Amino acid sequence: MRSGAPAASLTITDLRKDFGGTTAVDGISLEVPPGSFLVLLGPSGCGKTTTLRMLAGLEDPTGGEIRFGDRVIARGDGTALVAPSERGAGLVFQSYALWPHKTVRQNIEWPLVVARRPRAERRPRVEEVLEMLAISDLAERYPGEISGGQQQRVAIARMIAPEPRVLLFDEPLSNLDARLRVETRGELVRIHRSTGATSVYVTHDQVEAMTMATHIALMKDGRIEQFGTPRELLESPRTAFAATFIGTPPANIVECRVEGGRLRAYGVDCGPAPEGAGAGTVTAMYRAGSLAPAPGAEVGPGCLPATFADQVPMADRWVLGVDLPDGTRAHISRDAPADLRPGDALGVRLPAAPDAFFGAGDGHAAAGAAL
């Protein structure tokens, strides 16, 4: 690290970004300690990239505040705005954004030149990061002459060369093939650790999030749906959206009506309603492992009608995809493949109680949520 500059904590308070009439980021707050690997996770258009660009300084917030450590780097009212290069942050773009007219070495060195680092310091640093990313052989090539994976490494090398305290990644793996993606994931974590910096990583891929993050901020429509460790998000999703977005396979959601203290869905009794639930509907969550195919297409209390769609092996288990009567896709996890063909009817046996309840409407975790 540059003369021991410590990694910074990251604090976001009520951060907003309006573009003309539309709101891209709608008042988000979070805080992570130094050295964290924060993943901003969410579907496209949820505001995660805009948030990242505000952290980088490429967009100015229209409300709220961002701090790296104790230092305010941006305020929505315009009273503080630290220039991007003064924030001690580096960014890897989705497109890598290498400078096509500079060689790999020049790409890595130029930010150091701009920062007026002395030549004697620059040269060894460039060699060091070239080495670190195993791209020394490519140093004299132009970006147009190397592969996508190699460009990606150059982009990372360029980012870390000035030794930033905060690393920012904008979906950096989305242009890579599946295998390279898995490899690079490990590489990124290694780099994150070795630099000791705080990282913020934007992705829509929950697997990336789960494997790399120390903290995940799950975003939807410009808001944070849930913030926590990967395990918290997986084990205690606070909303139906969180439950269905995270996990492999994701959890299943069944809309139930409450009738006389009992839950009913698809005309089937699903067990007792949670305490305190009035009349109306509740959303019940069942993990894939909590469901099981009923033998012989049986349908009845605690057993929903369904149609078999597909099955895939996952680790040492099999995940069955079935369609509920209204077309909702449900996943069942079990030890062995099922002897069914797509289109076959089957029953889905529910556990005695769902893994969790969410209130109707806002989809937030309801009272009595149970594991």
Partner 1 sequence: MPTAPPPRRTAAGVRLARARTALTRPTAVLGACTLLILTVLVVAPLVGLVNTTLMEGGRDAWGDVFASPMSENLLWRPMGNSILVGVATAAGSTVIGGFLAWVVVMTRIPGRWLLGLLATIPFALPSFALALAWESVFRNGLIGGSTGILVNLGVAVPDWLAWGPVPVSATLTAHYFSLSFMLIAAALASVNGDLMEAAELTGASTLRVARDIALPVVAPAMVSGALLAFAEGVSNFVTPALLGLPVRFHTLSTRLYGAISTGDVSRGYVLSIVLIVVAAMIMYASTRLTGGRRNFATITGKGGRRRSVDLGPWARPVAALAWLLVACTTVVPGAVLVLSSLTRRTNDFTSGFTLHYWIGGSDPAFAQGRPGILNNPQILQATGNTVLLGVCVALGAGVLGLLVSYAITRSTGSRWLPGTLGVVSFVPFLIPGIALGAAFIAQFGAPIGPIPSLYGTFAILVLAGIAATIPFAVRSGTSALSQVSRDVEESAVMAGAGLFRRIGAVIAPLTARGLFTGGVLVFVQMVRDLSLVVLLATPAMPVLAVLTYQYSSENFTQLANAVTVVIAVISVGATVLARRLEGAAQPWNQNS
| 149 is a contact residue toward partner 1 (CB under 8 A) | no
Residues that contact partner 1, how many (by CB under 8 A): 46
Among the residue ranges 132-140, 142-150, 198-206, 299-307, the one whose residues contact partner 1 (CB under 8 A): 142-150
> Which positions ≥6 away from 263 have C-beta within 8 Å?
256, 257, 269, 270, 271, 272, 273, 282, 284
Judged by CB under 8 A, the residue of 90, 172, 237, 321 near partner 1 is 90
Minimum distance from residue 36 beta carbon to partner 1 (Å): 20
| 98 is a contact residue toward partner 1 (CB under 8 A) | yes
| 151 is a contact residue toward partner 1 (CB under 8 A) | yes
Minimum distance from residue 163 beta carbon to partner 1 (Å): 13
| 143 is a contact residue toward partner 1 (CB under 8 A) | yes
Site mask for partner 1 (CB under 8 A), range 42-61, x = bound: --------------xxx-x-
Minimum distance from residue 126 beta carbon to partner 1 (Å): 14
Looking only at the bridges linking them, the beta strands covering 22-32 and 37-41 are unpaired
| 95 is a contact residue toward partner 1 (CB under 8 A) | yes
Minimum distance from residue 323 beta carbon to partner 1 (Å): 32
Site mask for partner 1 (CB under 8 A), range 100-139, x = bound: xx--------xx--xx------------------------
Among the residue ranges 82-90, 260-268, 314-322, 353-361, the one whose residues contact partner 1 (CB under 8 A): 82-90
> For residues 126-139, b (16+ Cβ closer than 10 Å) or e, as one string?
beebbebbebeebb
Minimum distance from residue 146 beta carbon to partner 1 (Å): 9
Judged by CB under 8 A, the residue of 6, 33, 43, 71 near partner 1 is 71
Q: Which value, to the nearest 10 degrees, does the dihedral of the CA atoms of residues 33, 54, 216, 132 take?
A: -70
> For residues 287-305, b (16+ Cβ closer than 10 Å) or e, as one string?
bbbbbbbbeeeebeeebbb
| 99 is a contact residue toward partner 1 (CB under 8 A) | yes
What end-to-end distance do the CA atoms of the chain give, in Å? 44
* CB closer to partner 1 out of 53 and 215: 53
Among the residue ranges 36-44, 158-166, 250-258, 314-322, the one whose residues contact partner 1 (CB under 8 A): 158-166
Sheet holding 10-19, edge to edge: 22-32, 10-19, 63-68, 71-75
Minimum distance from residue 38 beta carbon to partner 1 (Å): 18
| 368 is a contact residue toward partner 1 (CB under 8 A) | no
| 347 is a contact residue toward partner 1 (CB under 8 A) | no
Structure-token pair, residue 327: 């077309």
Instruction: Point out which residues bind partner 1 (CB under 8 A).
Output: 56-58, 60, 65, 67, 70-72, 75, 77-86, 89-91, 93-101, 110-111, 114-115, 142-145, 148, 151, 155, 158-159, 162
